[in-house]
Structure 1
Amino acid sequence: MPTDRKPRRRDVTTVEIIGGVVKRALFLTDHDPRWAEAYAEHETRIRAALGPAALQVEHIGSTSVPGLAAKPIIDVLITVADITAEEDYLDQLVAAGYVLRVREPGHRLVRTPALDAHIHVMEAGDPLAGDYLIFRDRLRTDDDDRALYERTKRALLEQDWADMNAYADAKTEVVTAIKERGRESRLGSGVPERPSASPRP
């Protein structure tokens, strides 16, 4: 947390998926340089909508890693001072054209109506927000882990999944291992460690 003030209210304690579970076709495409351009457009849109309430805006997920095949969905991380203060960010994101999809402890997800971008809102200092960046940076800099992650995704996509969350959960073991190597690499290079928790990339 960037300040010492306590959250204005209790956070939600359950997972709410607006619209319910929806099965979507899952497939990978080769890395597309236009994904970086698409992210830049979302960043501009988000910063215009939120102003200083957006403490951090980052491109995360597989589309943020050059050379990595990915589902063609742009993932964006926003950190805010207080996740419970939805009045500071949620209406503004909806007004900017995003649609609320998930409300759960420590995390809100809005997405585009076209389903080609997922915008994750988390609180500054949340270990999971740091995990997203550790995982991304490890894949950007380590050829072996990038290849391992792509092989894992391709193997899993040969199976049938009820929804994207089930597919994501199946990657947990590999994601955790890559993330730990990324954390060790940061420590070895003198980069300050970000606290960790269970993965959600």
Structure 2
Amino acid sequence: MSIEISDYDRAWPGRARHAIDEVTALLPGRIVLAEHVGSTAVPGLPAKPVIDMMVATADLGDVLEAEEALRAIGYRRIETGMPERLFYRRPGYHLHVVTTASWDTRNERLLRDHLLGNAADRDEYGRLKRQLAAAGDDADAYTRGKTALIQRMVDAARAAKGLPSVDVWEE
């Protein structure tokens, strides 16, 4: 299966907002914070047409207890091995559930904000994504091929906030 990279679509933020509203309505009181993250959250950045959302909860167990509600609208939990995170997928959407305690230091949020404020890095990242996608259909190679650039940008974003560097691969 080939990797599809699309030009930025102005409909992506609205799709994200709708999906976030849907999830927070299903889990009243359990979701404290919610944002659109990932490449589809950055105007002008080409992306796989998958909406990534990150939501925060006081306790991951609160979301696990209500997981049936997420399943009812098509989300399936995927075991990723990422610490302190639940990951759900449905066609066209990824839902990352993290704790409020880790919200301010989440690399996905920091990278998004860095790309929003740095057009040169956004454009470099977009070019790399297109090159990697054109090189083949290996999703793992595509993801790993972006790692060095993402690490550099996340390191810069973390340093700007006085945060230590951490490996962008959460394993």
TM-score (norm 1): 0.74
Aligned to 2:151: 176
Aligned-pair identity (%): 28
Aligned to 1:90: 67
Shift of residue 197 of structure 1? 2.8
For the 8 Å contact 1:80–1:124, the answer to whether it is kept is yes
Where do 1:152-171 residues align within 5 Å?
152-163=128-139, 165-171=140-146
Are residues 1:199 and 2:137 paired? Answer: no
For the 8 Å contact 1:75–1:117, the answer to whether it is kept is yes
Shift of residue 127 of structure 1? 7.1
TM-score (norm 2): 0.86
Aligned to 2:111: 135
Q: SS of 1:67's equivalent? A: coil
Alignment RMSD (CA, Å): 2.4
Q: 1:12-65 CA distances to partner (integer Å, 9 max, x unpaired)?
A: xxxxxxxxxxxx431211111100110011011011011121121110000000
Where do 1:59-70 residues align within 5 Å?
59-70=36-47
AA matched with 2:149:
V
Q: Supply the distance in 1 between the matched residues of 2:165 and 2:34 (Cα, whole angstroms).
A: 19
Q: Supply the distance in 2 between the matched residues of 1:186 and 1:129 (Cα, whole angstroms).
A: 9
Q: Supply the distance in 2 between the matched residues of 1:198 and 1:89 (Cα, whole angstroms).
A: 31
For the 8 Å contact 2:2–2:137, the answer to whether it is kept is no
Shift of residue 85 of structure 1? 4.9
Q: SS of 1:69's equivalent? A: coil
Change (3 A) 1:84 1:162: farther
Structure with more helix by fraction: 2
For the 8 Å contact 1:128–1:198, the answer to whether it is kept is no
Q: Which range moves more in the overlay, 53-62 or 79-88?
A: 79-88
Unpaired stretches in structure 2, ≥5 consecutive residues: none
Aligned residue pairs total 169
Change (3 A) 1:107 1:166: farther
